Structure 1
Amino acid sequence: MSDFTEQATAYIDMWNETDPAARRDRVEQVFAAGSRYVDPLGVAVGHDQIDSMVGAVQQQFPGLRFALAGPIDTHHEQARFAWRLGVPGEDSLIDGFDVAELDGSGRVALVLGFLDKVPTA
């Protein structure tokens, strides 16, 4: 389903956008108003909180990039896709997968994130 492929790519691009104004624009393009993002480390509801969460992750992992890590599996209004975070061309620091649900307009209404590989202290 091309809508999910486009949205998953736009979603990853949003996580990689370091210019605050451009990132905020991407958040509003990708996510529906009132959308939710939930992962083991936090919950964000709405554009402001999602934008803040993305900015905080970028500050915690400066210079690292997100990338899709395989095909996007879809059914109905849902998709799941794996991703990795790291230096391009090197082993990833963090691996995970997200389950996303689109609303009727084709924007993300909900993301449930899972972490498969995380660094140890």
Structure 2
Amino acid sequence: MSAEIKRHNEDKELPKEFIDMDTVTDNGRTVGTQKEEVQSVSAGQERVLRPVIRLPERNAICINPEIRDTSVFVKLRPAWEDFRSYLTAKGRKRFEVYICTMAERNYALEMWRLLDPKAT
């Protein structure tokens, strides 16, 4: 239980660090942002590049939209990558995947982009 609390406290600090410096410290190493393109919600909108930090060994993603106060820390479920690979494996029948949220459509699209960055 103490390891879980320690990890939670470390995770709590990541968004603050990201907002302040556009980097996070993970196990003693500094990880910087990568610019990822956000798909337009409506046609004719110009493309948006959003700073993102992916921490695969922590199953975590930090996103920093243009409004720094709305930075987000996303904790992925364990084995998400294995499950995603299963869903998209060649020869498999297609699956319909939905994101259920009480947030706005833009949030759901952003979560889907984070979960499936190659849109497979």
TM-score scaled to structure 2, two decimals?
A: 0.32
Higher gyration radius (CA): 2
Q: Which structure's residues are more often strand, by fraction?
A: 1
- Structure ranking higher on relative contact order (CA contacts 8 Å, 6+ apart): 1
TM-score scaled to structure 1, two decimals?
A: 0.32
